[in-house]
A and B are shown apart, each in its own frame.
Chain A
Amino acid sequence: MRLNFNILKRPKSSIPGFGLTMGYTIFYLSIIVLIPLLALFTEAFSVGWEKFFSATTDARVVESYKLTFYTATIAALVNTFFGVIVAWCLVRYEFFGKRVFDAMVDLPFALPTAVSGIALTTLYSHQGWFGKYLEPIGLKIVFTPIGITIALIFIGLPFVVRTVQPALEELEVEQEEASSSLGANRWQTFYKVILPTIFPAVLTGFALSFARALGEYGSVVFISGNMPFKTEISTLLIITKLEQYDYAGATAVAVVMLFISFAMLLVINILQRWSSKRRGMEAI
Protein backbone atom coordinates (compact mmCIF):
# COMPACT_ATOMS: atom_id res chain seq x y z
CA MET A 1 0.00 0.00 0.00
CA ARG A 2 1.68 3.08 -1.24
CA LEU A 3 -0.75 5.46 0.42
CA ASN A 4 -0.01 4.32 3.96
CA PHE A 5 3.61 5.24 3.70
CA ASN A 6 2.79 8.63 2.27
CA ILE A 7 0.73 9.85 5.17
CA LEU A 8 3.48 10.99 7.50
CA LYS A 9 5.97 11.90 4.83
CA ARG A 10 6.63 15.55 4.06
CA PRO A 11 5.30 16.41 0.64
CA LYS A 12 7.92 17.08 -2.00
CA SER A 13 7.33 20.34 -3.72
CA SER A 14 9.04 22.90 -5.88
CA ILE A 15 7.98 25.58 -3.37
CA PRO A 16 10.40 25.96 -0.50
CA GLY A 17 9.55 26.42 3.16
CA PHE A 18 7.32 23.49 4.07
CA GLY A 19 9.45 22.33 6.99
CA LEU A 20 9.78 25.80 8.47
CA THR A 21 6.18 26.94 8.12
CA MET A 22 4.57 23.63 9.03
CA GLY A 23 6.94 23.14 11.94
CA TYR A 24 6.17 26.56 13.36
CA THR A 25 2.43 26.13 12.76
CA ILE A 26 2.32 22.87 14.70
CA PHE A 27 4.58 24.22 17.45
CA TYR A 28 2.59 27.40 18.00
CA LEU A 29 -0.76 25.64 17.70
CA SER A 30 0.37 23.13 20.31
CA ILE A 31 1.61 25.54 22.94
CA ILE A 32 -1.17 28.07 22.59
CA VAL A 33 -4.20 25.91 21.91
CA LEU A 34 -3.75 22.16 22.08
CA ILE A 35 -1.74 21.70 25.28
CA PRO A 36 -3.92 24.11 27.30
CA LEU A 37 -7.08 22.37 26.11
CA LEU A 38 -5.47 19.04 26.88
CA ALA A 39 -4.77 20.32 30.39
CA LEU A 40 -8.49 20.83 30.88
CA PHE A 41 -9.31 17.28 29.85
CA THR A 42 -6.58 15.72 32.00
CA GLU A 43 -7.77 17.79 34.90
CA ALA A 44 -11.29 16.49 34.35
CA PHE A 45 -9.98 12.92 34.37
CA SER A 46 -8.02 13.43 37.57
CA VAL A 47 -11.15 14.72 39.27
CA GLY A 48 -12.58 11.22 39.20
CA TRP A 49 -15.80 10.01 37.72
CA GLU A 50 -17.98 10.26 40.80
CA LYS A 51 -16.93 13.76 41.66
CA PHE A 52 -17.23 14.78 38.04
CA PHE A 53 -20.73 13.38 37.86
CA SER A 54 -21.92 15.03 41.04
CA ALA A 55 -20.34 18.34 40.00
CA THR A 56 -22.12 18.35 36.66
CA THR A 57 -25.49 17.21 38.00
CA ASP A 58 -25.56 19.57 40.95
CA ALA A 59 -28.91 21.35 40.96
CA ARG A 60 -27.39 24.81 40.62
CA VAL A 61 -25.26 23.66 37.68
CA VAL A 62 -28.18 21.99 35.94
CA GLU A 63 -30.26 25.11 36.42
CA SER A 64 -27.48 27.17 34.78
CA TYR A 65 -27.35 24.81 31.79
CA LYS A 66 -31.10 25.08 31.38
CA LEU A 67 -31.01 28.86 31.54
CA THR A 68 -28.09 29.04 29.14
CA PHE A 69 -29.77 26.77 26.60
CA TYR A 70 -33.13 28.38 26.95
CA THR A 71 -31.91 31.97 26.50
CA ALA A 72 -29.44 31.01 23.75
CA THR A 73 -32.17 29.26 21.79
CA ILE A 74 -34.60 32.16 21.99
CA ALA A 75 -31.87 34.65 21.11
CA ALA A 76 -30.81 32.58 18.10
CA LEU A 77 -34.42 32.25 16.92
CA VAL A 78 -35.00 36.00 17.18
CA ASN A 79 -31.75 36.60 15.33
CA THR A 80 -32.72 34.15 12.62
CA PHE A 81 -36.06 35.82 12.02
CA PHE A 82 -34.79 39.39 11.96
CA GLY A 83 -31.44 38.41 10.45
CA VAL A 84 -33.11 37.05 7.31
CA ILE A 85 -35.18 40.23 6.97
CA VAL A 86 -32.11 42.44 7.46
CA ALA A 87 -30.05 40.40 4.98
CA TRP A 88 -32.91 40.50 2.47
CA CYS A 89 -33.23 44.29 2.73
CA LEU A 90 -29.47 44.83 2.48
CA VAL A 91 -29.20 42.67 -0.65
CA ARG A 92 -32.44 43.51 -2.44
CA TYR A 93 -33.41 47.09 -1.63
CA GLU A 94 -31.95 50.55 -1.79
CA PHE A 95 -32.76 52.74 1.16
CA PHE A 96 -31.37 55.72 2.98
CA GLY A 97 -28.42 54.84 5.18
CA LYS A 98 -28.08 51.31 3.78
CA ARG A 99 -24.28 51.37 3.73
CA VAL A 100 -24.11 52.60 7.31
CA PHE A 101 -26.48 49.92 8.52
CA ASP A 102 -24.60 47.30 6.53
CA ALA A 103 -21.31 48.26 8.14
CA MET A 104 -22.94 48.51 11.57
CA VAL A 105 -24.14 44.92 11.51
CA ASP A 106 -20.62 43.93 12.53
CA LEU A 107 -20.63 46.23 15.56
CA PRO A 108 -21.18 43.38 18.05
CA PHE A 109 -18.02 41.71 16.67
CA ALA A 110 -15.98 44.85 17.09
CA LEU A 111 -17.36 46.29 20.32
CA PRO A 112 -15.82 44.81 23.49
CA THR A 113 -18.44 42.71 25.26
CA ALA A 114 -18.02 44.56 28.55
CA VAL A 115 -18.93 47.82 26.82
CA SER A 116 -22.03 46.30 25.19
CA GLY A 117 -22.92 44.81 28.55
CA ILE A 118 -22.95 48.08 30.46
CA ALA A 119 -24.65 49.94 27.60
CA LEU A 120 -27.49 47.42 27.42
CA THR A 121 -27.87 47.33 31.19
CA THR A 122 -28.11 51.11 31.34
CA LEU A 123 -30.68 51.18 28.54
CA TYR A 124 -33.00 48.63 30.08
CA SER A 125 -32.62 49.59 33.74
CA HIS A 126 -35.56 51.35 35.32
CA GLN A 127 -34.07 54.77 34.56
CA GLY A 128 -32.91 53.86 31.08
CA TRP A 129 -34.44 54.92 27.76
CA PHE A 130 -36.17 51.60 27.25
CA GLY A 131 -36.52 50.46 30.83
CA LYS A 132 -38.40 53.51 31.97
CA TYR A 133 -41.22 52.68 29.56
CA LEU A 134 -41.13 48.93 29.94
CA GLU A 135 -41.05 48.62 33.72
CA PRO A 136 -44.32 50.53 34.34
CA ILE A 137 -46.11 48.03 32.12
CA GLY A 138 -44.71 45.20 34.18
CA LEU A 139 -41.85 44.17 31.90
CA LYS A 140 -38.74 43.96 34.03
CA ILE A 141 -35.71 43.22 31.89
CA VAL A 142 -32.56 43.85 33.87
CA PHE A 143 -31.67 40.97 36.19
CA THR A 144 -34.13 38.63 34.45
CA PRO A 145 -33.75 35.99 31.74
CA ILE A 146 -35.21 38.50 29.27
CA GLY A 147 -32.20 40.73 29.86
CA ILE A 148 -29.85 37.82 29.27
CA THR A 149 -31.71 37.04 26.05
CA ILE A 150 -31.42 40.63 24.84
CA ALA A 151 -27.66 40.60 25.47
CA LEU A 152 -27.39 37.33 23.57
CA ILE A 153 -29.42 38.73 20.67
CA PHE A 154 -26.99 41.63 20.54
CA ILE A 155 -23.84 39.51 20.35
CA GLY A 156 -25.32 36.92 17.96
CA LEU A 157 -26.87 39.42 15.58
CA PRO A 158 -24.14 39.52 12.90
CA PHE A 159 -24.01 35.76 12.37
CA VAL A 160 -27.32 35.17 10.61
CA VAL A 161 -27.05 38.36 8.54
CA ARG A 162 -23.50 37.60 7.45
CA THR A 163 -24.18 33.98 6.44
CA VAL A 164 -27.50 34.66 4.68
CA GLN A 165 -26.27 37.77 2.84
CA PRO A 166 -23.82 35.99 0.47
CA ALA A 167 -26.34 33.20 -0.15
CA LEU A 168 -28.89 35.79 -1.23
CA GLU A 169 -26.35 37.63 -3.35
CA GLU A 170 -25.52 34.47 -5.25
CA LEU A 171 -29.15 33.62 -5.84
CA GLU A 172 -29.89 33.71 -9.54
CA VAL A 173 -32.59 36.10 -10.60
CA GLU A 174 -33.40 33.69 -13.42
CA GLN A 175 -34.77 31.15 -10.94
CA GLU A 176 -37.22 33.67 -9.59
CA GLU A 177 -38.12 34.77 -13.09
CA ALA A 178 -38.73 31.17 -14.07
CA SER A 179 -40.88 30.66 -10.99
CA SER A 180 -43.03 33.71 -11.65
CA SER A 181 -43.31 32.90 -15.36
CA LEU A 182 -44.70 29.53 -14.32
CA GLY A 183 -47.47 31.33 -12.46
CA ALA A 184 -46.20 31.44 -8.87
CA ASN A 185 -46.99 34.57 -6.91
CA ARG A 186 -44.30 36.36 -4.95
CA TRP A 187 -44.92 34.57 -1.68
CA GLN A 188 -44.94 31.17 -3.40
CA THR A 189 -41.70 32.06 -5.14
CA PHE A 190 -40.11 33.01 -1.83
CA TYR A 191 -41.44 30.01 0.00
CA LYS A 192 -40.79 27.39 -2.67
CA VAL A 193 -37.76 28.69 -4.57
CA ILE A 194 -35.78 31.19 -2.51
CA LEU A 195 -36.14 29.79 0.99
CA PRO A 196 -35.10 26.20 0.16
CA THR A 197 -31.99 27.55 -1.57
CA ILE A 198 -30.89 29.76 1.30
CA PHE A 199 -32.12 27.39 4.00
CA PRO A 200 -28.72 25.78 4.75
CA ALA A 201 -27.24 29.26 5.17
CA VAL A 202 -30.07 30.26 7.49
CA LEU A 203 -29.51 27.15 9.56
CA THR A 204 -25.75 27.78 9.67
CA GLY A 205 -26.42 31.32 10.87
CA PHE A 206 -28.73 30.00 13.56
CA ALA A 207 -26.13 27.47 14.72
CA LEU A 208 -23.34 30.07 14.80
CA SER A 209 -25.48 32.51 16.72
CA PHE A 210 -26.53 29.78 19.16
CA ALA A 211 -22.96 28.52 19.66
CA ARG A 212 -21.71 32.02 20.35
CA ALA A 213 -24.52 32.61 22.86
CA LEU A 214 -23.66 29.43 24.78
CA GLY A 215 -20.18 30.63 25.61
CA GLU A 216 -20.90 34.32 26.08
CA TYR A 217 -19.88 36.01 29.28
CA GLY A 218 -19.02 39.71 29.06
CA SER A 219 -22.20 41.19 27.68
CA VAL A 220 -24.40 39.06 29.94
CA VAL A 221 -22.69 39.44 33.28
CA PHE A 222 -23.89 43.02 33.86
CA ILE A 223 -27.50 42.63 32.80
CA SER A 224 -28.13 39.23 34.37
CA GLY A 225 -27.66 40.02 38.04
CA ASN A 226 -26.13 36.58 38.55
CA MET A 227 -28.63 35.18 41.01
CA PRO A 228 -28.08 31.45 41.54
CA PHE A 229 -30.96 29.33 40.23
CA LYS A 230 -32.45 32.38 38.54
CA THR A 231 -30.12 34.34 36.31
CA GLU A 232 -26.82 32.50 36.56
CA ILE A 233 -25.50 31.26 33.21
CA SER A 234 -22.94 28.47 32.94
CA THR A 235 -19.91 30.58 32.04
CA LEU A 236 -20.56 32.74 35.05
CA LEU A 237 -20.81 29.67 37.23
CA ILE A 238 -17.33 28.62 36.07
CA ILE A 239 -15.94 31.94 37.22
CA THR A 240 -17.80 31.78 40.51
CA LYS A 241 -16.39 28.32 41.19
CA LEU A 242 -12.91 29.50 40.25
CA GLU A 243 -13.15 32.39 42.66
CA GLN A 244 -14.03 29.89 45.38
CA TYR A 245 -10.99 27.80 44.35
CA ASP A 246 -13.34 24.95 43.40
CA TYR A 247 -11.15 23.89 40.47
CA ALA A 248 -12.73 20.47 40.16
CA GLY A 249 -16.22 21.92 39.91
CA ALA A 250 -15.14 24.58 37.43
CA THR A 251 -13.39 21.95 35.34
CA ALA A 252 -16.43 19.71 35.25
CA VAL A 253 -18.73 22.49 34.06
CA ALA A 254 -16.13 23.70 31.56
CA VAL A 255 -15.62 20.24 30.05
CA VAL A 256 -19.32 19.77 29.51
CA MET A 257 -19.52 23.20 27.87
CA LEU A 258 -16.49 22.43 25.74
CA PHE A 259 -18.03 19.19 24.51
CA ILE A 260 -21.18 21.02 23.54
CA SER A 261 -19.07 23.64 21.74
CA PHE A 262 -17.20 20.96 19.81
CA ALA A 263 -20.45 19.27 18.89
CA MET A 264 -21.73 22.62 17.65
CA LEU A 265 -18.52 23.11 15.67
CA LEU A 266 -19.07 19.76 14.01
CA VAL A 267 -22.69 20.60 13.22
CA ILE A 268 -21.66 23.97 11.81
CA ASN A 269 -18.98 22.36 9.64
CA ILE A 270 -21.50 19.92 8.23
CA LEU A 271 -24.03 22.70 7.65
CA GLN A 272 -21.44 24.84 5.90
CA ARG A 273 -20.49 21.99 3.62
CA TRP A 274 -24.16 21.41 2.85
CA SER A 275 -24.64 25.11 2.25
CA SER A 276 -21.74 25.49 -0.15
CA LYS A 277 -22.74 22.29 -1.92
CA ARG A 278 -26.21 23.59 -2.50
CA ARG A 279 -24.86 26.89 -3.73
CA GLY A 280 -22.29 25.13 -5.89
CA MET A 281 -25.04 23.18 -7.58
CA GLU A 282 -26.72 26.36 -8.64
CA ALA A 283 -23.67 27.38 -10.57
CA ILE A 284 -24.03 24.39 -12.87
Chain B
Amino acid sequence: MKTFNNSNGAQSESTLVKYGLIFTAICFLTIMLLVPLITIFIEAFRKGIEAYFLAFNDQYVLQAVKLTVITALIAVPLNLVFGVCASWAIAKYSFFGKSVLITLIDLPFAVSPVISGFVYVLLFGAQGWFGHWLIENDVQIIFAAPGIVLATIFVTFPFVARELIPLMQEQGNDEEQAALLLGASGFQTFMKVTIPNIKWGLLYGVILCNARAMGEFGAVSVVSGHIQGVTNTMPLQVEILYNEYNFVAAFAVSTLLAILALLTLVLKYSLEWKAKKQLEKLKEEE
Protein backbone atom coordinates (compact mmCIF):
# COMPACT_ATOMS: atom_id res chain seq x y z
CA MET B 1 0.00 0.00 0.00
CA LYS B 2 1.18 3.42 -0.89
CA THR B 3 0.77 6.03 1.75
CA PHE B 4 0.05 9.64 1.09
CA ASN B 5 1.91 11.28 3.90
CA ASN B 6 4.16 13.47 1.85
CA SER B 7 3.40 17.06 2.67
CA ASN B 8 5.45 18.94 0.14
CA GLY B 9 3.51 21.78 -1.40
CA ALA B 10 1.65 21.04 -4.59
CA GLN B 11 1.52 17.30 -4.06
CA SER B 12 -0.70 17.46 -1.03
CA GLU B 13 -3.16 19.79 0.52
CA SER B 14 -2.33 22.43 3.07
CA THR B 15 -2.82 21.35 6.67
CA LEU B 16 -5.82 23.62 6.96
CA VAL B 17 -7.60 22.01 4.01
CA LYS B 18 -6.71 18.54 5.24
CA TYR B 19 -8.09 19.06 8.73
CA GLY B 20 -11.06 20.92 7.32
CA LEU B 21 -11.93 17.91 5.20
CA ILE B 22 -11.41 15.45 8.03
CA PHE B 23 -13.55 17.62 10.32
CA THR B 24 -16.31 17.77 7.70
CA ALA B 25 -16.24 14.02 7.13
CA ILE B 26 -16.31 13.19 10.83
CA CYS B 27 -19.12 15.66 11.49
CA PHE B 28 -21.19 14.28 8.63
CA LEU B 29 -20.72 10.66 9.70
CA THR B 30 -21.34 11.49 13.34
CA ILE B 31 -24.54 13.41 12.72
CA MET B 32 -25.90 11.03 10.09
CA LEU B 33 -24.79 7.66 11.47
CA LEU B 34 -23.31 7.68 14.94
CA VAL B 35 -25.92 9.82 16.69
CA PRO B 36 -28.91 7.87 15.28
CA LEU B 37 -27.21 4.64 16.36
CA ILE B 38 -26.58 5.92 19.88
CA THR B 39 -30.16 7.22 20.07
CA ILE B 40 -31.48 3.68 19.70
CA PHE B 41 -29.69 2.58 22.86
CA ILE B 42 -30.38 5.77 24.80
CA GLU B 43 -34.10 5.56 24.07
CA ALA B 44 -34.20 1.88 24.92
CA PHE B 45 -32.71 2.52 28.35
CA ARG B 46 -34.51 5.83 28.93
CA LYS B 47 -36.63 4.31 31.69
CA GLY B 48 -33.93 2.14 33.13
CA ILE B 49 -32.65 -1.37 32.71
CA GLU B 50 -35.71 -2.95 34.21
CA ALA B 51 -38.04 -1.33 31.72
CA TYR B 52 -35.69 -2.44 29.00
CA PHE B 53 -35.84 -6.08 29.95
CA LEU B 54 -39.53 -5.88 30.65
CA ALA B 55 -40.00 -5.16 26.96
CA PHE B 56 -38.85 -8.68 26.17
CA ASN B 57 -41.18 -10.20 28.69
CA ASP B 58 -43.90 -9.99 26.08
CA GLN B 59 -45.31 -12.92 24.23
CA TYR B 60 -45.72 -10.95 20.99
CA VAL B 61 -42.14 -9.76 21.02
CA LEU B 62 -40.84 -13.26 21.61
CA GLN B 63 -43.03 -14.62 18.84
CA ALA B 64 -41.72 -11.91 16.53
CA VAL B 65 -38.15 -12.94 17.36
CA LYS B 66 -39.05 -16.55 16.68
CA LEU B 67 -40.68 -15.77 13.32
CA THR B 68 -37.70 -13.63 12.29
CA VAL B 69 -35.25 -16.41 13.08
CA ILE B 70 -37.34 -19.04 11.31
CA THR B 71 -37.67 -16.81 8.24
CA ALA B 72 -33.92 -16.28 8.08
CA LEU B 73 -33.31 -20.00 8.63
CA ILE B 74 -35.38 -20.79 5.55
CA ALA B 75 -34.44 -17.88 3.29
CA VAL B 76 -30.68 -17.87 3.82
CA PRO B 77 -29.99 -21.57 3.05
CA LEU B 78 -32.24 -21.45 -0.02
CA ASN B 79 -30.44 -18.40 -1.38
CA LEU B 80 -27.13 -19.98 -0.45
CA VAL B 81 -27.82 -23.07 -2.54
CA PHE B 82 -29.03 -20.89 -5.37
CA GLY B 83 -25.99 -18.62 -5.11
CA VAL B 84 -23.58 -21.54 -5.34
CA CYS B 85 -25.42 -23.08 -8.31
CA ALA B 86 -25.71 -19.79 -10.18
CA SER B 87 -22.10 -18.81 -9.68
CA TRP B 88 -20.91 -22.28 -10.74
CA ALA B 89 -23.00 -22.13 -13.91
CA ILE B 90 -21.90 -18.59 -14.69
CA ALA B 91 -18.22 -18.77 -13.75
CA LYS B 92 -17.30 -22.22 -15.05
CA TYR B 93 -18.84 -22.17 -18.52
CA SER B 94 -19.15 -19.78 -21.41
CA PHE B 95 -22.60 -19.51 -22.92
CA PHE B 96 -24.78 -17.08 -24.78
CA GLY B 97 -26.71 -14.59 -22.66
CA LYS B 98 -24.50 -14.74 -19.60
CA SER B 99 -24.56 -11.00 -18.91
CA VAL B 100 -28.35 -10.99 -19.20
CA LEU B 101 -28.53 -13.74 -16.61
CA ILE B 102 -26.27 -11.80 -14.26
CA THR B 103 -28.47 -8.72 -14.64
CA LEU B 104 -31.60 -10.78 -13.94
CA ILE B 105 -30.04 -12.15 -10.77
CA ASP B 106 -29.32 -8.58 -9.63
CA LEU B 107 -32.86 -7.47 -10.42
CA PRO B 108 -34.33 -7.77 -6.90
CA PHE B 109 -31.85 -5.12 -5.73
CA ALA B 110 -33.32 -2.66 -8.21
CA VAL B 111 -36.91 -3.32 -7.21
CA SER B 112 -38.43 -1.31 -4.38
CA PRO B 113 -39.09 -3.52 -1.32
CA VAL B 114 -42.73 -2.50 -1.39
CA ILE B 115 -43.08 -3.78 -4.95
CA SER B 116 -41.22 -6.98 -3.99
CA GLY B 117 -43.95 -7.72 -1.48
CA PHE B 118 -46.72 -6.54 -3.74
CA VAL B 119 -45.93 -8.97 -6.56
CA TYR B 120 -46.59 -11.89 -4.21
CA VAL B 121 -49.91 -10.36 -3.23
CA LEU B 122 -50.80 -10.33 -6.91
CA LEU B 123 -49.85 -14.00 -7.21
CA PHE B 124 -51.12 -15.48 -3.98
CA GLY B 125 -53.55 -12.89 -2.58
CA ALA B 126 -57.30 -13.50 -2.51
CA GLN B 127 -57.68 -11.75 -5.86
CA GLY B 128 -54.39 -13.08 -7.22
CA TRP B 129 -53.53 -15.64 -9.92
CA PHE B 130 -53.55 -18.58 -7.53
CA GLY B 131 -55.87 -16.93 -4.97
CA HIS B 132 -58.94 -18.95 -5.84
CA TRP B 133 -57.13 -22.28 -5.80
CA LEU B 134 -55.41 -21.42 -2.52
CA ILE B 135 -58.68 -20.53 -0.80
CA GLU B 136 -60.32 -23.72 -2.04
CA ASN B 137 -57.50 -25.80 -0.71
CA ASP B 138 -57.32 -23.81 2.49
CA VAL B 139 -53.75 -22.71 2.01
CA GLN B 140 -52.81 -19.26 3.15
CA ILE B 141 -49.68 -17.59 1.87
CA ILE B 142 -50.40 -13.88 1.97
CA PHE B 143 -50.96 -12.45 5.44
CA ALA B 144 -49.25 -15.56 6.77
CA ALA B 145 -45.73 -16.83 7.41
CA PRO B 146 -45.16 -18.33 3.92
CA GLY B 147 -45.68 -14.90 2.34
CA ILE B 148 -43.17 -13.37 4.72
CA VAL B 149 -40.65 -16.05 3.84
CA LEU B 150 -41.23 -15.58 0.10
CA ALA B 151 -40.87 -11.80 0.26
CA THR B 152 -37.71 -12.19 2.32
CA ILE B 153 -36.26 -14.64 -0.20
CA PHE B 154 -36.99 -12.14 -2.96
CA VAL B 155 -35.23 -9.20 -1.36
CA THR B 156 -32.20 -11.25 -0.26
CA PHE B 157 -32.06 -13.22 -3.52
CA PRO B 158 -28.84 -11.81 -5.06
CA PHE B 159 -26.59 -11.56 -1.97
CA VAL B 160 -24.68 -14.86 -2.11
CA ALA B 161 -24.59 -15.13 -5.91
CA ARG B 162 -23.30 -11.61 -6.25
CA GLU B 163 -20.37 -12.29 -3.89
CA LEU B 164 -19.47 -15.63 -5.47
CA ILE B 165 -19.75 -14.89 -9.20
CA PRO B 166 -16.79 -12.47 -9.46
CA LEU B 167 -14.78 -14.55 -7.01
CA MET B 168 -15.20 -17.77 -8.97
CA GLN B 169 -14.66 -16.02 -12.28
CA GLU B 170 -11.39 -14.69 -11.00
CA GLN B 171 -10.21 -18.10 -9.83
CA GLY B 172 -10.76 -19.73 -13.19
CA ASN B 173 -11.03 -23.45 -13.87
CA ASP B 174 -7.44 -24.63 -13.56
CA GLU B 175 -7.62 -26.08 -10.08
CA GLU B 176 -10.91 -27.86 -10.78
CA GLN B 177 -9.51 -29.29 -14.00
CA ALA B 178 -6.37 -30.41 -12.19
CA ALA B 179 -8.51 -32.23 -9.63
CA LEU B 180 -10.67 -33.88 -12.30
CA LEU B 181 -7.59 -35.02 -14.22
CA LEU B 182 -6.27 -36.56 -11.03
CA GLY B 183 -9.40 -38.68 -10.91
CA ALA B 184 -11.61 -36.72 -8.50
CA SER B 185 -15.35 -36.87 -9.14
CA GLY B 186 -17.33 -33.70 -9.78
CA PHE B 187 -18.62 -33.72 -6.20
CA GLN B 188 -15.16 -34.37 -4.73
CA THR B 189 -13.76 -31.53 -6.83
CA PHE B 190 -16.46 -29.19 -5.60
CA MET B 191 -16.05 -30.12 -1.94
CA LYS B 192 -12.26 -30.38 -1.80
CA VAL B 193 -11.13 -27.73 -4.25
CA THR B 194 -13.87 -25.22 -5.01
CA ILE B 195 -15.39 -24.78 -1.54
CA PRO B 196 -12.07 -24.09 0.26
CA ASN B 197 -11.29 -21.48 -2.37
CA ILE B 198 -14.56 -19.61 -2.00
CA LYS B 199 -15.33 -20.14 1.68
CA TRP B 200 -14.71 -16.54 2.80
CA GLY B 201 -16.75 -15.06 -0.01
CA LEU B 202 -19.47 -17.56 0.79
CA LEU B 203 -19.51 -16.60 4.45
CA TYR B 204 -19.51 -12.93 3.52
CA GLY B 205 -22.52 -13.40 1.29
CA VAL B 206 -24.36 -15.41 3.95
CA ILE B 207 -23.76 -12.73 6.59
CA LEU B 208 -25.10 -9.95 4.39
CA CYS B 209 -28.00 -12.12 3.30
CA ASN B 210 -28.86 -12.92 6.91
CA ALA B 211 -28.70 -9.30 8.05
CA ARG B 212 -31.12 -8.25 5.36
CA ALA B 213 -33.38 -11.28 5.91
CA MET B 214 -33.79 -10.48 9.59
CA GLY B 215 -34.09 -6.74 9.06
CA GLU B 216 -36.34 -6.49 6.01
CA PHE B 217 -39.30 -4.22 6.61
CA GLY B 218 -40.96 -2.87 3.44
CA ALA B 219 -41.50 -6.14 1.60
CA VAL B 220 -42.71 -8.15 4.59
CA SER B 221 -44.87 -5.27 5.68
CA VAL B 222 -46.94 -5.63 2.50
CA VAL B 223 -47.51 -9.38 2.85
CA SER B 224 -47.70 -9.72 6.60
CA GLY B 225 -51.15 -8.52 7.59
CA HIS B 226 -49.65 -7.36 10.91
CA ILE B 227 -51.27 -9.93 13.15
CA GLN B 228 -49.41 -9.70 16.43
CA GLY B 229 -47.90 -12.96 17.56
CA VAL B 230 -48.63 -14.63 14.23
CA THR B 231 -47.28 -12.70 11.24
CA ASN B 232 -45.05 -10.10 12.81
CA THR B 233 -41.32 -10.16 12.43
CA MET B 234 -39.09 -8.05 14.66
CA PRO B 235 -39.01 -4.97 12.40
CA LEU B 236 -42.80 -5.13 12.09
CA GLN B 237 -43.13 -5.47 15.85
CA VAL B 238 -40.95 -2.36 16.21
CA GLU B 239 -43.39 -0.48 14.02
CA ILE B 240 -46.41 -1.61 16.01
CA LEU B 241 -44.82 -0.79 19.35
CA TYR B 242 -43.76 2.61 18.08
CA ASN B 243 -47.20 3.41 16.73
CA GLU B 244 -48.66 2.38 20.09
CA TYR B 245 -46.38 5.01 21.67
CA ASN B 246 -44.57 2.23 23.52
CA PHE B 247 -41.24 3.83 22.69
CA VAL B 248 -39.08 2.01 25.21
CA ALA B 249 -40.24 -1.37 23.95
CA ALA B 250 -39.89 -0.30 20.32
CA PHE B 251 -36.32 0.78 20.91
CA ALA B 252 -35.59 -2.24 23.09
CA VAL B 253 -36.48 -4.57 20.23
CA SER B 254 -34.51 -2.22 17.96
CA THR B 255 -31.39 -2.72 20.07
CA LEU B 256 -31.44 -6.42 19.19
CA LEU B 257 -31.58 -5.54 15.51
CA ALA B 258 -28.92 -2.86 15.96
CA ILE B 259 -26.62 -5.34 17.70
CA LEU B 260 -27.18 -7.75 14.83
CA ALA B 261 -26.27 -4.94 12.43
CA LEU B 262 -23.12 -4.06 14.35
CA LEU B 263 -22.11 -7.70 14.51
CA THR B 264 -22.63 -7.91 10.76
CA LEU B 265 -20.42 -4.89 10.22
CA VAL B 266 -17.64 -6.29 12.40
CA LEU B 267 -17.76 -9.65 10.60
CA LYS B 268 -17.94 -7.95 7.22
CA TYR B 269 -14.99 -5.75 8.03
CA SER B 270 -12.83 -8.60 9.32
CA LEU B 271 -13.72 -10.80 6.35
CA GLU B 272 -12.81 -8.03 3.95
CA TRP B 273 -9.53 -7.72 5.77
CA LYS B 274 -8.98 -11.44 5.49
CA ALA B 275 -9.83 -11.40 1.79
CA LYS B 276 -7.36 -8.56 1.27
CA LYS B 277 -4.62 -10.62 2.96
CA GLN B 278 -5.49 -13.63 0.84
CA LEU B 279 -5.32 -11.50 -2.30
CA GLU B 280 -1.91 -10.19 -1.32
CA LYS B 281 -0.76 -13.74 -0.78
CA LEU B 282 -2.02 -14.70 -4.23
CA LYS B 283 -0.26 -11.74 -5.78
CA GLU B 284 2.97 -12.83 -4.13
CA GLU B 285 2.45 -16.18 -5.75
CA GLU B 286 2.42 -14.74 -9.23
Interface residues of B in 105-141 (CB under 8 A from A): 105-108, 110-115, 118-123, 127-129
Binary contact track B145-181/A, C-beta < 8 Å → 1, others 0: 0000010011001000000000000000100110010
**B223 → chain A closest CB, angstroms:** 10
A152 to B119, CA, bound (A): 24
Partner among A21, A36, A211 whose Cβ is within 8 Å of the Cβ of B119: A36
Interface size class of A (residues with CB under 8 A): 35 or more
* Cβ contact within 8 Å between A215 and B33: no
Interface size class of B (residues with CB under 8 A): 35 or more
A88 to B40, CA, bound (A): 29
* Cβ contact within 8 Å between B25 and A85: yes
A17 to B93, CA, bound (A): 10
* Cβ contact within 8 Å between A95 and B22: yes
Q: Which of A13, A36, A128 has the most CB of B within 10 A?
A: A36
Question: Is A180 in contact with chain B by the CB < 8 A criterion?
Answer: yes
A265 to B109, CA, bound (A): 9
5 closest cross-chain pairs (CB), A and B:
A215-B112, A112-B215, A180-B10, A218-B217, A16-B186
**What are some 27 contacts across the A-B interface (CB < 8 A)?**
A8-B96, A15-B176, A21-B85, A22-B95, A28-B78, A28-B82, A29-B105, A33-B108, A35-B123, A93-B18, A99-B269, A102-B269, A110-B265, A113-B217, A114-B217, A114-B235, A114-B254, A119-B37, A122-B247, A123-B36, A130-B35, A189-B10, A216-B218, A217-B217, A238-B115, A238-B118, A251-B122
On B, residues with C-beta under 8 Å from A are 2, 4-5, 9-14, 17-18, 21-22, 24-26, 28-29, 31-37, 39-40, 43, 78, 81-82, 85-86, 88-90, 92-97, 101, 103-108, 110-115, 118-123, 127-129, 150, 153-154, 157, 173, 176-177, 180, 186, 190, 208, 211, 214-218, 221-222, 234-236, 238-239, 242, 247, 250-251, 254, 257-258, 260-262, 264-266, 268-269
